């Protein structure tokens, strides 16, 4: 039975897993309006410029800028009004020198106009004449052709997480169907004779299955498609059968419990039997979560998490989430919300091991204050009571009260 005698730093452990995997996302086409939260598979280029015509950004009067030079409240300029730009259509007139025309926000500038005077800086001198109380520069209050997007420009790269803004941009380009990465199917299973379904009544020695459901939510949040396989009893045969079923049908397999070095912990053995190369890392230098297993079996990643709910969720964030994102072809960028806060109390740590501590947040005189939520790693409400996690690096022996820390929101 392999034991975790040499603990790998989390970054090195993840690099080992990635090195042994080939990430080849598959794609599917869906309606753009349904693509929120999906990952763009192919880059999008603009086939048209946006805007496609010169348009006004304000309500006012289309003018030739030169006709307004020198105008002020004490010495206004007066221009005859020659027409109104229709909305949703091209003007049917040319703006001659020394004239102006009514234009609304989004209206197309008539030929000859090169600026728009805001209505707030005008007065209606008469039915056919406008008084201008200031000057405007060429291009003022005007969107030029292609000012937002040039024709042929790459506007959204492959691997982008589609947000409401991207949906709006795609629709502006007339793209009503988009190619996105297929969600990887993630098999989730638990092990342990003591673990029962949450709907069952507790009896002495039994605990409800928390991890399957927190991991199910985490997988969805990361962009995967979770599939629960239930709880395997603590026997080699039962665990191997459930593992094989999940491995056969899923793109990634995640199991909780059974990863510590004891005679009843069979996860590493079963992973080694499941396919080549098997277990790559057994033990990660992080707290909570030391007894973590990372493996690859016949091209599919397999991750063994600790059974304690806090450890399982923290470690899943370090390994399961980035693996799913790589399987989706996600761009490498920080997308976990991070805020700064002042640490309320001293936090001690064991030097040489990374640590993640749950904190709650409240307002203080100098901004947000982060207060540790102390609790053991088998107490899920340690995380429920917290708003985020504070990272203590491996080379630190703790963090001092009053220091500014980054809080990774959960």
Architecture of the CATH domain 27-50+149-181: Alpha-Beta Complex (3.90)
Which pLDDT value is given to residue 333? 54
> Looking at the domain covering 338-409, what would its CATH class be?
mainly beta
Longest dimension (CA), the chain: 96
Q: So what's the pLDDT on residue 105? A: 95
What's residue 52's pLDDT? 92
List, in order, residues 6 or more apart from 394 with CB less than 8 Å away. Answer: 9, 285, 351, 352, 353, 354
**Residue 409 pLDDT:** 78
**Annotated domain spans of the chain:** 10-26+182-327, 27-50+149-181, 55-143, 338-409
3-class DSSP state of 313: helix
Token pair 């109104």 is at which residue?
84
Q: Give the right CATH number for 10-26+182-327 from 3.90.1640.10, 1.10.1660.10, 3.40.980.10, 3.90.420.10.
A: 3.40.980.10
Structure-token pair, residue 173: 């380009």
Q: Hey, is 32 helix, strand or coil?
A: helix
Which residue in 67, 145, 148, 147 sits closest to 108, CA to CA? 145
Angle between the N-to-C axes of helices 267-274 and 236-249, in degrees from 0 to 180, rounded to the nearest 10 = 50
Query: How far apart are the C-alpha atoms of 119 and 325, rounded to whole Å?
Result: 50
CA 106 to the chain's CA centroid: 32
Per-residue pLDDT at 263: 36
The pLDDT of residue 259: 52
Retrieve residue 386's tokens.
Answer: 């917290």
Tens-digit pLDDT profile for the chain (410 aa)? 444 557 888 888 999 999 999 888 899 999 999 999 999 999 999 999 989 999 999 999 999 999 999 999 999 999 999 999 999 999 999 999 999 999 999 999 999 999 999 999 999 888 899 999 999 999 999 999 988 888 998 989 999 899 898 999 999 999 999 999 999 999 999 888 788 888 888 888 888 888 999 999 999 999 999 999 988 888 889 889 999 999 999 999 999 975 555 534 688 899 999 999 999 999 888 877 788 999 999 999 999 998 888 888 888 988 999 999 999 998 765 566 777 888 888 888 777 778 888 888 888 766 788 888 876 555 555 666 677 888 888 778 888 888 888 888 77
pLDDT at 258: 54
Other CB atoms within 10 A of residue 346 CB? 12
Residue 98's pLDDT is 96
Residue-level pLDDT at 400: 87
What is the reported pLDDT for 1?
41
Contact 48, 173 (CB under 8 A): yes
- Which string of b and e fits 217-239 if b means at least 16 CB within 10 Å? ebbeebbbebbbbebbebeeebb
Q: Which of these, 81, 76, 79, lies nearest to 128 by C-alpha position?
A: 81
Would you state the CATH architecture of domain 55-143? Beta Complex (2.170)
Predicted confidence at residue 199, as pLDDT, reads 86
* pLDDT of amino acid 264: 45
């Amino acid at each position: 039975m392999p034991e975790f005698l040499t603990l790998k730093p989390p970054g090195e452990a993840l690099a080992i897993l990635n090195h042994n995997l080939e990430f080849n996302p598959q794609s599917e086409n869906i309606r753009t309006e349904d693509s929120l939260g999906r990952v763009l598979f192919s880059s999008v280029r603009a086939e048209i410029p946006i805007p496609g015509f010169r348009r006004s950004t304000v309500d006012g009067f289309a003018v030739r800028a030169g006709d307004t030079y020198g105008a002020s409240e004490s010495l206004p300029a007066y221009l005859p009004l020659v027409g109104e730009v229709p909305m949703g259509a091209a003007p049917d007139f040319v703006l001659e020198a020394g004239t102006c025309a009514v234009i609304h926000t989004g209206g197309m500038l008539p030929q000859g106009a090169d600026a728009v005077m805001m209505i707030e800086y005008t007065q209606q001198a008469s039915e056919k004449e406008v008084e201008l109380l200031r000057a405007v520069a060429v291009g003022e209050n005007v969107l030029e052709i292609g000012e937002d997007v040039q024709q042929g420009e790459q506007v959204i790269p492959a691997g982008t997480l589609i947000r409401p803004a991207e949906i709006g941009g795609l629709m502006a380009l007339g793209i009503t169907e988009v190619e996105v990465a297929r969600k990887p199917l993630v098999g989730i299973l638990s092990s342990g004779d003591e673990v029962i379904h949450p709907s069952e009544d507790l009896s002495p020695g039994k605990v409800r299955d928390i991890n399957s459901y927190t991991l199910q939510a985490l997988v969805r949040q990361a962009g995967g498609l979770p599939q629960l396989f239930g709880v395997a009893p603590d026997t080699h045969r039962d665990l191997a059968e459930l593992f094989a079923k999940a491995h056969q049908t899923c793109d990634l397999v995640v199991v909780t419990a059974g990863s510590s070095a004891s005679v009843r912990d069979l996860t590493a053995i079963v992973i080694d039997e499941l396919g080549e190369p098997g277990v790559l890392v057994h033990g990660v230098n992080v707290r909570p979560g030391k007894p973590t297993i990372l493996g690859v079996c016949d091209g599919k990643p397999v991750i063994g998490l600790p059974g304690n709910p806090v450890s399982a969720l923290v470690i899943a964030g370090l390994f399961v989430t980035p693996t799913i994102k790589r399987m989706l072809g996600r761009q490498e960028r920080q997308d976990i919300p991070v805020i700064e806060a002042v640490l309320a109390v001293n936090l001690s740590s064991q030097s040489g091991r990374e640590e993640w501590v749950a904190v709650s947040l409240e307002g203080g005189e100098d901004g947000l204050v982060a207060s540790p939520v102390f609790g053991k790693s088998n107490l899920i409400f340690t995380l429920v009571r917290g708003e985020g996690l504070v990272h203590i690096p491996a080379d630190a022996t703790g963090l001092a009260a009053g220091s500014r820390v980054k809080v990774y929101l959960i």
